Structure 1
């Protein structure tokens, strides 16, 4: 059942935007990772309700996630006795928009449930639940599944030659499917010859690549891009999947997340080595 904040239940359900419980939260997160043959899924659940958690520990309820994809007609329910669940899906099971709905559900009939956090407006202190009824529900989450969305953003960065540029200058072109970073031909040759070096890669990721990504994100903020370009699609969906907002978060903060905290590369290959020298 897709989350609907306007829906009401005849019994208390712990969920966002509802006052069934005057205190308490239920939150779930779902992480997807793609490899060559499958999609791994990790669901994590947290609740501050001691009473609901106790039902799970007693085996009277379970955490549940329903993963569905309209494009592939995939829909499957996963149940867990623990606050985390790890499973795998076939590689072609989902693509495009994927929804995750998370719950705590009764797995058997429950008699006389009570919690001090239930809103007294229900007019009773104890409740009975039938097996299968929802006890807690989190907001539906949406991610976009595509192989390119789980690759480094560098897959849409392209280093190209521009003979009109001085050797030390560089420019960014956002009007192509790839973000083109233009440098003088001699500079491009030097960079190409150094690509196999992890140290050189760490410098690139923290210099012209980082600058290009920040510039591209700022263009998205300013709505100064063509929406059908490949790099735009990749950036927008990776930003969404990361739980960030183009409008609300700073460009440099988004860039760090998309590039997997590139400063750590400098720490690994330069700063730490200097300290140990």
Structure 2
């Protein structure tokens, strides 16, 4: 996400703006490391504005880090009140170029905001700042993630993401990315997060299985637009390991999808049986 040089109804500390003088906000990546599963990115924030520092100290503002990987469509905002911060991200979510924007963001409504570093045009002025507003915009940081083919086969086929649309559908499938993006409405995304740790098998059966069928339809019709994406490689490798081809005119895509997912259907049904049995036992007072 490239931040445009937009106009604000109040002074914002940023490059190419004269809203402030003799003060700066600079973010830098001081170190990157990795282990078998995760990438670690260390940040250092340099801020010499006393008023903004005090607001962050009082937790009325925070440092915001917007990280986005165009290749995988992964994006997330991290927040911290510390001048030094480490992000831990799964390797499978980042590939090639990663864009990082940094901000200072209001954590609550701020009344009568004033800084001694305001430009002379704002001398004597104070501003009411809404929660979520940007008070400072840092420099754009681009980092490159080295490809590691060793982990390609372990790449996830799906990534679940909360839709940012105004009136989203309950579910939307995006296949023109490195992994298949499953965008859920905010309500459904919240429900998914509530059950994902205990009901992963049910999720695979009820959501993942139909989507794999849809993806296999693309393979059968030879309508894959990017043969080099992670999800196409992962499914192709699985099909090859199972000795499955689409030579038949009417292949049983549901059965093939279930095999690819390691019999997700049986595991999903067993998971629901355990939930129902558990509820029945609670109703009967069984401990």
Question: What's the TM-score once normalised by structure 1's chain length?
Answer: 0.51
Which consecutive residues of structure 2, in runs of 5 or more, have no partner in the other structure? 149-287
Asked if the contact 1:72/1:95 (under 8 Å) is kept, the reply is yes
- Residue 64 (structure 1) shift: 0.8
Runs of at least 4 residues of structure 1 off by over 4 A? none
Asked if the contact 1:34/1:147 (under 8 Å) is kept, the reply is no
Q: 1:19-98 to 2 correspondence within 5 Å?
A: 19-30=18-29, 31-98=31-98
Distance 2:27 2:68 in 1: 16
2:118 — aligned with what?
118
- Residue 89 (structure 1) shift: 0.4
- Residue 87 (structure 1) shift: 2.4
Q: 1:221-232 to 2 correspondence within 5 Å?
A: none
- Residue 134 (structure 1) shift: 0.1
Distance 1:33 1:16 in 2: 29
Give the stretch that moved more between structures: 68-77 or 6-15: 6-15
1:8 — aligned with what?
7
Asked if the contact 1:34/1:40 (under 8 Å) is kept, the reply is yes
User: Per-residue CA shift, 1:182-227, capped at 9, x if unaligned?
Assistant: xxxxxxxxxxxxxxxxxxxxxxxxxxxxxxxxxxxxxxxxxxxxxx
Q: Tell me the SS of whatever aligns to 1:56.
A: helix
State yes or no: 1:130 paired with 2:130.
yes
- Residue 3 (structure 1) shift: 2.5
Distance 1:121 1:110 in 2: 21
- Residue 147 (structure 1) shift: 4.5
Asked if the contact 1:3/1:138 (under 8 Å) is kept, the reply is no
Q: Tell me the SS of whatever aligns to 2:51.
A: helix
Which consecutive residues of structure 1, in runs of 5 or more, have no partner in the other structure? 149-277
2:99 — aligned with what?
99
Q: Tell me the SS of whatever aligns to 1:92.
A: helix
Asked if the contact 1:12/1:20 (under 8 Å) is kept, the reply is yes
Asked if the contact 1:13/1:21 (under 8 Å) is kept, the reply is yes
State yes or no: 1:144 paired with 2:144.
yes
- Residue 124 (structure 1) shift: 4.7
Question: What's the TM-score once normalised by structure 2's chain length?
Answer: 0.49
- Residue 61 (structure 1) shift: 0.3
- Residue 123 (structure 1) shift: 6.1
- Residue 104 (structure 1) shift: 0.5
Q: 1:208-227 to 2 correspondence within 5 Å?
A: none
1:166 — aligned with what?
none
User: How large is the RMSD of aligned CA atoms in angstroms?
Assistant: 1.5
Distance 1:2 1:55 in 2: 26
Q: Tell me the SS of whatever aligns to 1:118.
A: coil
Q: Tell me the SS of whatever aligns to 2:118.
A: coil
Distance 2:2 2:48 in 1: 23
Distance 1:147 1:135 in 2: 36
- Residue 65 (structure 1) shift: 0.3
